[in-house]
Amino acid sequence: MTTPTGISPVTGHYVTIEVEGSQYRVFYLENGTGQPLVCQHTAGCHNHQWMGLLEDSEITDNYRVIAYDLARHGKSDPPLNSEWWKEEYLLTADHYVAFITAFCDALGLEEPIFMGSSFGGNVALQLALRHPDRFKAVIPVEAADHSPGFFLDWWQHPQANAAQVCASGVWDLMAPQSPESDRRRTWFYYTQGSEAFRGDLYFYSVDHDLRGRCGEIDTSRCPVVMLTGEYDYLTTPDDGRRTAEQIPGAEFIEMSEIGHFPMSENYPRFAGYLKQALDLIARRTGAEEAAAPRPRTPSAPVGGR
Amino acid sequence: MTEFRRLSDSDPEIQAHGKYFSCSFLWDMEEKKFLVRMHRGRIEELIVDPGPLEDYDFAVRAGADTWREFGRQTPAPMFHGIWAASFQRDMRLEGNLLVLMQNLRCVTRQIELLRATGPLV
């Protein structure tokens, strides 16, 4: 919620982190206190997708919501200390996982819950598999064990308008019931990230492949609650359900009348499902009492629980 | 089709962004075909069931039932866009797809006008 003067309680910060020998200046937005909830935007997008959540006091009273821009997205730069322009950008699972854990380490977050949508949902599954003790739980949104078909060259065809191709190419990933103004805003975000979109989708559709490995995810150490919208044509509810069924102890919730960008195309509708997911995690981790609001001053350490 | 032409030629989004929206495409709806020739954002020609010598840049083809669902005001999941229906249903995109990509914003808007006119088949 904004103040009567129109000033949002959401604040922005930069942090410089080192990942696999490269330095990255990362921009993140945050609001709230309590259990850290780290949020990853979708491919070719940025953290404004999470503004509805960041300003939802029903959540931020108990959760410290942190939404960052992945390097090369939004206000986060490409690597500071390498000649990145001499290489094709192709996001790998190894790098993506290392980036997220380095970011959480830099902020001193202890046992954050990680939530991401689309390629952020897929990396949530990777985190649960690789770092089950680093994250309290994960909420993969619009995620699957494998999501082929979207690593395409025509996202950057020089004879087409990449900004409009990327934005209009994902337009009908959203549900027709979602508010038009929110769908248009999500479309607008997608006009801004077209240069990174194709490289992001290398992870989404190629390097991320957990077929046959989902059974290795230990939900007793890192609970998994998956959410998928019924209008998502890329990662359909059947894909999400199939994936969850392979993860012992995972939960799956199908979201009606919503698509691939739940947090920005229709946050009020998504919020109901998210609260279900957070309640499930609190019950699984015995964290109901611990989730009570705690005071934190701006100068206090930024640690988690 | 008269209503579709009126809606397209007066649509604020197409008219605001369609300065270079000049191409031709076929909507193959199984029971009927519609050839739309666009010139700078306006429908120059609209032909029902065009003959074999009428050329066009690209075609969007699907069965009549798919188009009927597509044209509902609130279509069911996977019938709600050309990409959704191509990935998950029987819709096919054929021809010079680069032209489709070059005009994707306006085509996407225009095809959704079918939800205002109702299914054409």
Residue type, A133: D
Work out the burial of residue B117: count CB atoms within 10 Å of its CB; fewer than 13 is exposed, 13-18 middle, 19 or more buried: middle
- pTM higher than the cut 0.95: no
Q: Per-residue pLDDT tens for A1-54?
A: 666 789 999 999 999 999 999 999 999 999 999 999 999 999 999 999 999 999
Q: What is the ipTM of this complex?
A: 0.94
A contacts of B80 (beta carbons < 8 Å): 172, 175-176, 231
From chain B, pick out residues whose CB is under 8 angstroms from the CB of A147.
none
Nearest CA in chain B to A258: B77
pLDDT higher at B57 or A295: B57
- How far is B24 from A186, CA to CA, in rounded Å? 29
CA distance A145 to A86: 32
User: Does A193 score more than 50 pLDDT?
Assistant: yes
In whole angstroms, give the CA distance from residue A270 to residue A256: 10
Statement: residue A292 has pLDDT above 70: no
A176–chain B Cβ distance below 8 A for any pair: yes
B2-48 pLDDT tens trace:
899 999 999 999 999 999 999 999 999 999 999 999 999 999 999 99
A217: closest CA of chain B, how far (Å): 29
- Average pLDDT estimate for A202-214: 98
| Residue pLDDT, tens place only, A129-171 | 999 999 999 999 999 999 999 999 989 999 999 999 999 999 9
- C-beta atoms of B87 and A149 within 8 A: yes
Task: Supply B47's token pair.
Answer: 């032909």
Position A1 scores a pLDDT of 65
**Count of alpha carbons within 13 Å of B31, Cβ hemisphere only?**
8
Instruction: Scan residues 27-66 of A and list those with Cβ closer than 8 Å to B.
Output: none
Q: Which domains does chain A have, with CATH numbers?
A: 11-298 (3.40.50.1820)
Write a three-state SS string for chain B.
CHHHHHHHHCCHHHHHHCCCCCCEEEEECCCCEEEEEEECCEEEEEEECCCCCCCCCEEEECCHHHHHHHCCCCCCCCCCCHHHHHHHCCCEEEECHHHHHHCHHHHHHHHHCHHHHCCCC
Q: Tell me the count of A-B CB pairs closer than 8 A.
A: 57
Residues 154 to 173 of A: which have CB under 8 A from any B CB?
A: 154, 157, 159-161, 164-165, 167-169, 171-173
